[in-house]
Structure 1
Amino acid sequence: MIQEQTILNISDNSGARLVKCIKVLGGSNKFFAKIGDIIKVSVKTCNNNSKIKKGQIYKALIIRTKFGFNRKDGTRIKFNDNSAILLQNNENIISSRIFGSILKEIKSEKFSKLISLSNDII
């Protein structure tokens, strides 16, 4: 579960390394975000030669959490880190590669490209 002030790793080749959640999107009373939710983030650290700079505000899609994810068949999947990928303001993916594994439940009409960019699908 991701809330405001949570530090997340970035698992794509956009140039950012660490981001901080500044707002959970999806309603005025929504305080926590889970896998597949969209949040607003601020870039804390980034690579030297990237278009993304420290302090910029982006949307991000959460792809891994330490809290875990319950599937309909009763299994629970947990990861070792909180991780996200950066999105443009019109919710298109910025990067061209995704590192690490992602869940197949993230696939939707908006993020169908996401499945083809990752190397591990759980």
Structure 2
Amino acid sequence: MEAVEQKDLKRHREKSDQRVLQIEVLKSRGYCLRGRELVLRWKTKLEAQGHKVSLRKVAEWVGVCWSTVNDKPRRRKPAGVDRQVEKAIYQLIQRYLRYGFGKISVKRRRLMGVIVNKKKAHRIMARQG
């Protein structure tokens, strides 16, 4: 490496060490943010000071795993239910009041010849109450 590159590298390490120390001080003061929120907060603060830093670097400095920052929580869509299946299960529930979802799915298979997963029967029965 050239001397100029070594100086730049040394200066960059010193700045990063200072930022790490600042973050350690804030951690010791009891900041309660965790994971993604903490990293995003620090990134915005550093950008406000004029520093251009990647999320990966900030996560490394804060001590948060990169996969925690990178993964965005996704909401699952509710499972769709066929109206005919739902109606048939309601009829079976009215007829066999004491049966649970497993027995209802077996009855549905035997009486009507249609295979219904017991999890689906459970979801329908939970909706009905």
User: Would the TM-score normalized by the shorter structure come out above 0.5?
Assistant: no
Structure number having the greater strand percentage: 1
Shorter-chain-normalised TM-score: which range?
Answer: under 0.3
Question: TM-score scaled to structure 2, two decimals?
Answer: 0.20
Question: TM-score scaled to structure 1, two decimals?
Answer: 0.21
Which of the pair has the greater relative contact order for Cα pairs under 8 Å at 6+ separation?
Answer: 1
